[in-house]
């Protein structure tokens, strides 16, 4: 015992105990995370829990690396009250950082299906959305705040027990040397634990080496993912291929127009909030909450294997309007590249004589949509401010869909043809309110499904009124969703189904278009496809392709938690930012992604993998070098 006391004097014990307290809090948060999101992690192994403990240890070591050197330094005033208070406040600051982020993910994870990263703080830049939602969150998620209070009280109770362990060494040369030795050894151990013994530091991607893709978020913790992404300023250049090799595999320079169907039609793009295939009756033999949308798809050219390029509304806008996928940690609209000149549909159609307008009923500034519309060169922006009547404000997000769609129609009726109108709806969206005028009309016990029914009604009214307008028959309608919402269905929770959205083209009276197409298509294909149908025959910049090009076999790309993925030819390949293939799945036979072919020695299709690498290389180069348009 004597030697233990020499090796671990009281102040070292106090430090280790405090690290243990923080570890305990993180693991309690992990168990709560599992409890609240159990349906997402139905195949966890014991090793996943061990791996989670390891990431908690790394997180604590990173935080204590900023805390411990000063604590361990042999300073003569270490037992002073003010000095101890400083470390106590620092400890609780780090601890509250852990508690806040990890409790946030108990519910936020359901929507994004990834651990929160540093970009979540950028939402404070996106208008007043965050502040408007705080009262609703306090009401709906009161238990998270209760958990936070209990954990803070619990950690304070435990921390006080460590205060009994005083610095009891006499101030001397021996004391100084011992303290310096402890400091150096401690820092070395923390660096070893936090970095590992490999050449690369431990990061978010490390988890993918040891667990299934769907379990990565359980293994990680939210503090770790925020720490690892806080300085993620942009993308890095890749050199997988020479310039000549790259051109043969992939190029974002497009020329379409050979599939011209119409002579300067009006174009209306409808972006439906959170309308994944899961909630659209058409994809489930008409069983659902979207009878009008189902009937509309029955009169359209519908792509049944369509995919979103992101998981957030803020990622959908660049994908749909500018053919820019979301292939970096921050959404383009909030990234350091957000002011880069881009090639957009409004800009290209402006040269063809089109007037463009964007409609979104949220408070102006929401998601920085108005700022992006300026970069995309929309002629007009219509939001809650332009609507001008807050009696129809839902108290959280903006003007309800029914009222705002009718308002949008009133404005569109004043446009001269040809015009491009993009309408981005708001529902369904938490807290899933229904206007008082429709109280009791929608009977489903699930309030989200009731709001989907209301959104369907709003859409039906929009088309009913629009069909009576002189411009209607000469209008191409493109219908898609921004992203998928949270789900209780296994398919829609995995890395395949979590991007499944509809993409449909509807032209009144064009009966030869009615039908389905099973090609893999994505949101970034919408802009090139519209230009193709309009006969636009000049070169332009786009990461997507025209879905009407018979040479385009179809694929989709996404990115989340340092993993790129590509869907093509019945295969899903996940490729890390460390340039290694992480997972390969046969999505025709394994839609739940339960069987990783890579573990069985089956390699990814090389042509598809090269395409993904080429897209990443082109994307990163274009971002870094400000080349998102043709010179």
Helices 46-65 + 81-112 axis angle, to 10 = 140
Helices 401-412 + 447-466 axis angle, to 10 = 20
Alpha-carbon span 409 to 533, nearest angstrom: 24
Render pLDDT for 397-447 as a digit per residue (tens, 0 to 9): 999 999 999 999 999 999 999 999 999 999 998 889 999 999 889 989 999
Render pLDDT for 487-496 as a digit per residue (tens, 0 to 9): 989 999 999 9
User: What is the pLDDT, as a whole number, of residue 39?
Assistant: 84
Residue 516's DSSP bridge partners are: 302
**Residue 371 in this model has a pLDDT that exceeds 50:** yes
Torsion sign over Cα 216, 222, 224, 226: positive
Alpha-carbon span 495 to 418, nearest angstrom: 39
Q: Both tokens of residue 507?
A: 């032209």
Q: Which residue has the higher pLDDT, 258 or 478?
A: 478
User: What is the pLDDT, as a whole number, of residue 463?
Assistant: 98
Percentage of residues in the chain having pLDDT higher than 90 = 68
Alpha-carbon span 175 to 75, nearest angstrom: 10
* Number of Cβ atoms within 10 Å of the Cβ of 110: 18
**Residue 564 in this model has a pLDDT that exceeds 60:** yes
Reported as type and span, the H/E element at residue 375 is helix 369-375
Render pLDDT for 174-221 as a digit per residue (tens, 0 to 9): 555 555 666 666 666 666 555 554 545 678 888 888 888 889 999 999
Alpha-carbon span 154 to 161, nearest angstrom: 11
**Residue 3 in this model has a pLDDT that exceeds 50:** no
> Rounded mean pLDDT of 28-45?
91
User: What is the pLDDT, as a whole number, of residue 197?
Assistant: 47
Name the residue ranges covered by the structural domains of the chain: 2-229, 265-471+481-507+522-551
Give all strands (DSSP E) within 368-457, no chain letters. Answer: 380-382, 419-424
User: What is the pLDDT, as a whole number, of residue 195?
Assistant: 57
Helices 142-162 + 129-140 axis angle, to 10 = 80
**Residue 146 in this model has a pLDDT that exceeds 90:** yes
**Residue 134 in this model has a pLDDT that exceeds 50:** yes
Reported as type and span, the H/E element at residue 181 is helix 173-195
> Rounded mean pLDDT of 242-266?
91
Lowest mean pLDDT among 4-8, 135-139, 225-229: 4-8
Give all strands (DSSP E) within 453-549, no chain letters. Answer: 475-481, 503-506, 515-522, 540-541
User: What is the pLDDT, as a whole number, of residue 74?
Assistant: 63
Alpha-carbon span 396 to 382, nearest angstrom: 18
Alpha-carbon span 21 to 24, nearest angstrom: 5
**Residue 109 in this model has a pLDDT that exceeds 50:** yes
Distances (CA, A) of 613 to 253, 334, 596, 621: 17, 24, 20, 12
Q: Which of 249, 331, 323 is nearest to 525 (CA)?
A: 323
Reported as type and span, the H/E element at residue 229 is helix 222-229
Alpha-carbon span 514 to 505, nearest angstrom: 9
Alpha-carbon span 149 to 383, nearest angstrom: 38
Chain center to CA of 287: 29
User: What is the pLDDT, as a whole number, of residue 199?
Assistant: 46
Q: Which residue has the higher pLDDT, 124 or 55?
A: 55
CB 102 within 8 A of CB 30: yes
User: What is the pLDDT, as a whole number, of residue 203?
Assistant: 82
> Mean pLDDT, the chain, as a whole number?
89
Peptide bond connecting 428 to the previous residue in cis, omega within 30 degrees of 0: yes
Alpha-carbon span 289 to 275, nearest angstrom: 11
Torsion sign over Cα 347, 349, 350, 355: negative
Alpha-carbon span 598 to 614, nearest angstrom: 21
Alpha-carbon span 554 to 109, nearest angstrom: 30
Alpha-carbon span 25 to 33, nearest angstrom: 12
Kindly report the three-state secondary structure assignment for every residue of 106-130.
HHHHHHHCCCCCHHHHHHHHCCCHH
Alpha-carbon span 345 to 64, nearest angstrom: 50
Q: Which residue has the higher pLDDT, 479 or 111?
A: 479
| CATH annotation of 265-471+481-507+522-551 | 3.40.720.10
Q: Are β-strands 515-522 and 540-541 bridged in parallel, bridged antiparallel, or unpaired?
A: unpaired
**Residue 139 in this model has a pLDDT that exceeds 80:** no
Q: Both tokens of residue 99?
A: 């508690």
Alpha-carbon span 38 to 173, nearest angstrom: 55
Helix (H, G, I), strand (E, B) or coil at 475: strand
Helix (H, G, I), strand (E, B) or coil at 55: helix
Alpha-carbon span 615 to 351, nearest angstrom: 28
Torsion of CA 554, 559, 562, 565, to 10 degrees: -20
Long-range contacts of 378-383 (CB under 8 A, 24+ apart): 378/346, 378/422, 379/346, 379/350, 379/355, 380/355, 380/356, 381/357, 382/357, 382/358, 382/407, 382/408, 382/411, 383/359
Render pLDDT for 611-622 as a digit per residue (tens, 0 to 9): 999 999 999 999
Around 365, how many Cα atoms within 13 Å sit in the side-chain half-sphere? Answer: 12
**Residue-level length of the chain:** 631
**Residue 130 in this model has a pLDDT that exceeds 80:** no
* Phi-psi category of residue 262: left, alpha or beta, with phi > 0 → left and psi -120 to 50 → alpha: beta
Render pLDDT for 70-95 as a digit per residue (tens, 0 to 9): 776 666 666 678 878 888 999 999 99
Alpha-carbon span 431 to 167, nearest angstrom: 52
> Rounded mean pLDDT of 170-176?
55
Q: Cα–Cα–Cα angle for 446, 447, 451, nearest 5°?
A: 120
CB 329 within 8 A of CB 362: no
**Residue 571 in this model has a pLDDT that exceeds 70:** yes
Most confident of 138-142, 364-368, 494-498: 494-498
Q: Both tokens of residue 320?
A: 């749909």
* Phi-psi category of residue 19: left, alpha or beta, with phi > 0 → left and psi -120 to 50 → alpha: alpha
């Amino acid at each position: 015992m004597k030697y233990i006391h020499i090796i671990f004097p009281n102040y070292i014990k106090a430090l280790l105990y405090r690290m243990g307290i923080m570890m305990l809090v993180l693991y309690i948060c992990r168990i709560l995370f599992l409890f609240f999101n159990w349906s997402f992690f139905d195949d966890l192994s014991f090793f996943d829990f061990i791996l989670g403990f390891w990431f908690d240890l790394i997180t604590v070591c990173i935080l204590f690396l900023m805390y411990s050197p000063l604590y361990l330094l042999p300073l003569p005033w270490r037992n002073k009250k003010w000095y101890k208070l400083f470390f106590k406040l620092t400890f609780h600051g780090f601890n509250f950082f852990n508690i806040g982020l990890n409790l946030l993910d108990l519910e936020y994870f359901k929507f994004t299906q990834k651990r929160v990263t540093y970009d979540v703080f950028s939402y404070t830049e996106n208008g007043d959305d965050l502040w408007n939602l705080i009262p609703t969150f306090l009401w709906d998620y009161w238990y998270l705040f209760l958990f936070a209070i209990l954990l803070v009280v619990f950690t304070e109770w435990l921390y006080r027990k460590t205060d009994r362990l005083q610095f009891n060494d006499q101030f001397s040369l021996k004391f100084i040397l011992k303290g310096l030795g402890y400091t150096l050894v401690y820092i070395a151990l923390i660096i070893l634990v936090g970095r590992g013994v490999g050449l690369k530091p431990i990061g978010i991607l490390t988890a993918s080496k040891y667990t299934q893709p769907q379990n990565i978020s359980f293994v990680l913790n939210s503090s770790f993912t925020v720490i690892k992404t806080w300085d993620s300023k942009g993308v890095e250049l890749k050199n997988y291929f020479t310039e000549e090799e790259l051109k043969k595999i992939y190029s974002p320079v497009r020329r379409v127009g050979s599939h011209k169907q119409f002579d300067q039609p009006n174009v209306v793009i409808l972006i439906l909030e959170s309308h994944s295939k899961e909630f659209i009756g058409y994809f489930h033999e008409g069983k659902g909450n979207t009878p009008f949308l189902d009937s509309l798809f029955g009169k359209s050219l519908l792509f049944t294997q369509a995919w979103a390029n992101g998981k957030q509304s803020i990622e959908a806008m660049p994908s749909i309007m500018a053919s820019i996928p979301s292939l970096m940690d921050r959404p383009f609209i909030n990234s350091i590249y957000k002011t880069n000149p881009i090639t957009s549909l409004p800009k290209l159609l402006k040269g063809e004589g089109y007037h463009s307008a964007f409609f979104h009923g949220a408070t102006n500034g929401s998601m920085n949509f108005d700022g992006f519309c300026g970069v995309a060169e929309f002629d007009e922006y219509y939001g809650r401010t332009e609507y001008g009547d807050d009696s129809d404000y839902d108290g959280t997000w903006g003007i309800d869909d029914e009222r705002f769609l009718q308002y949008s129609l009133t404005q569109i009726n004043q446009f001269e043809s040809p015009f491009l109108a993009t309408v981005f709806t708001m529902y369904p969206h938490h807290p899933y309110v229904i206007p008082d005028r429709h109280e009791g009309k929608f009977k489903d016990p699930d309030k989200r499904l009731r709001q989907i029914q209301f959104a369907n009604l709003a859409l039906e009214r929009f088309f009913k009124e629009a069909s009576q307008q002189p411009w209607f028959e000469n209008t191409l309608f493109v219908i898609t969703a921004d992203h998928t919402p949270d789900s209780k269905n296994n398919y829609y929770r995995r890395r395949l189904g979590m991007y499944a959205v509809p993409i449909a083209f509807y032209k009144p009276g064009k009966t030869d278009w009615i039908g389905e197409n099973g090609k893999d298509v994505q949101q970034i294909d919408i802009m090139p496809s519209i230009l193709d149908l309009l006969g636009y025959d000049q070169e332009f910049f786009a990461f997507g392709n025209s879905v009407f090009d018979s040479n385009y076999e179809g694929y989709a790309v996404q990115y989340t938690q340092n993993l790129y993925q590509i869907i093509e030819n019945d295969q899903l390949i996940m490729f890390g930012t460390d340039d290694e293939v992480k997972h390969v799945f046969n999505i025709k036979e394994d839609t739940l992604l339960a069987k990783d072919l890579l573990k069985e020695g089956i390699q990814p299709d090389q042509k598809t993998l090269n395409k993904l690498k080429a897209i990443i290389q082109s994307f990163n180069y274009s971002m870094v070098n400000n080349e998102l348009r043709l010179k």
